[in-house]
Amino acid sequence: MSLKTFVKISNVNNLSDARYCAGMYVDLLGFSLEPNDEYYVDPVKFKEITGWVSGVGFVGEFKTTHPDIILETIAQYEGIESVQIEEEAHLQMLMNASYQLILKKDVADNKDMERLLSLSASLGENGILLLVEAESNPDLVPDKELLNKLAEKCEVILGFGFDSENVEDTLDNTKIKGIAMKGGHEIKPGIKDFDELADILEVLEEAD
């Protein structure tokens, strides 16, 4: 079994999310490695979770941490292959590290998306993935023409504007690399509400 597109899951902090998503053949599981974040995963918990899954890549997710601290932190997490950051200024300082870089940018409207065009060529030239989120405006509908312009310059992962009913149309009519979704807290240990995430992943399943 496989999925029709590249899929990244952020904010993974429990074994239920990790095992389910790995079993659905997602590509990347993202873990918050900043201690002040509500989804923070310490090295011990990270090892416990990742020890139960295989066939998926692991991402260390950061918001404002300085690159020097990022590299010190990741050294404590065996298996991290990708680093996600939100500060453009930090890209240059991480460029020579041996990690796949993901730049996450939050957009409030399609004008914000248009502003990313000036950055996209440089990202593409350096093999940096662009993750576009709309946390400040969850109801934003992405402009497909703008997405295609971005995707012509760099690899784009879309983190908003789709659901189980329109995700295939979004993929069919854009050149994006794939999509991103979020995990979250368990209701109680071992019990997780997967409804929306599961609905989308099931739509993306390739028939055997």
- For residue 184, what pLDDT is reported? 67
Nearest by Cα to 151 from 133, 186, 122, 175: 175
Residue 105's DSSP bridge partners are 132
Domains, in order of start, for the chain: 6-204 (3.20.20.70)
Condensed to tens digits (0 to 9), the pLDDT of residues 42-79 reads 999 999 999 999 999 999 999 999 999 999 999 999 99
What confidence score (pLDDT) does residue 196 get? 82
Six token digits for residue 208: 């055997």
**What's the pTM value of the predicted model, to 2 decimals?**
0.94
